[in-house]
Amino acid sequence: MKQLKLTSDNPVHTKRIGEMIGRSAEPGDVVLFTGDLGAGKTTMSQGIAAGLGIMNDVTSPTFTLMQIYQGTMPLYHLDVYRLNSEEEALDIGLEDVLYGDGLCLMEWAEQFPNLWPDDYLLVRIERSEETIRDMELTGVGAGEVLLDRVSKLLESAGIAYESA
């Protein structure tokens, strides 16, 4: 398990970090988001989509539960906040996209930790001030490889982070 810690001081910076995740992703990668309402999960998802070359307006799929976008690979963007059980999550096809041919992003992943795959990048975002976001990116299994690629892009862009 590898971990990076970084801070964003505005939504543009959060999107830029997300874009680096998108540019680093490969088919089958999974990014799980945790954080309070308004922490920046969807903002980072927008950046990830941009990193995949997706020009569509990416919004939170809170009411639709899942949005599918096509870029350099399929992007499956889920928001499981409104689901009440693991069964409901499975009914919307969660397993298909967690083990699919694209990049899967799941907001509010802490709702269903028993459904997490063995390999993922966990992104925890917390508000420390009105505009400041503290981020912790943890690579588990193959998610470590994704995190290594992200860290190289962060370094080349001059974005400071702390390895843990």
pLDDT (0 to 100) of residue 63: 66
3-class SS letters over the chain = CEEEEEEECCHHHHHHHHHHHHHHCCCCCEEEEECCCCCCHHHHHHHHHHHCCCCCCCCCCCCCCEEEEECCCEEEEEECCCCCCHHHHHHCCHHHHHCCCCEEEEECHHHCHHHCCCCEEEEEEEECCCCCEEEEEEEECCHHHHHHHHHHHHHHCCCCCEEC
Q: What CATH number does the domain containing 102 carry?
A: 3.40.50.300
Tokens for 80, please give them. Answer: 């499981």
Beta-carbon count within 10 A of 85 CB: 10
Per-residue confidence in pLDDT tens, the chain, 164 aa: 899 999 999 999 999 999 999 999 999 999 999 999 889 999 999 999 999 999 988 887 776 788 999 999 999 999 999 899 999 988 888 888 899 899 999 999 999 999 999 999 999 999 988 889 999 999 999 999 999 999 999 999 999 999 97
* pLDDT > 70 in the chain, percent: 99
Residue-wise pLDDT for 89-104, tens only, equals 888 888 888 998 999 9
Residue 96 belongs to domain spanning: 2-163
Rounded to 5 degrees, what are φ and ψ at 81?
Answer: -55, -40
Instruction: Say how many domains are in the chain.
Output: 1
pLDDT of residue 19: 97
CB 118 within 8 A of CB 141: yes
Residue 149: predicted pLDDT: 97
Could you tell me the end-to-end alpha-carbon distance of the chain, in angstroms, rounded to an integer? 10
Length of the chain: 164
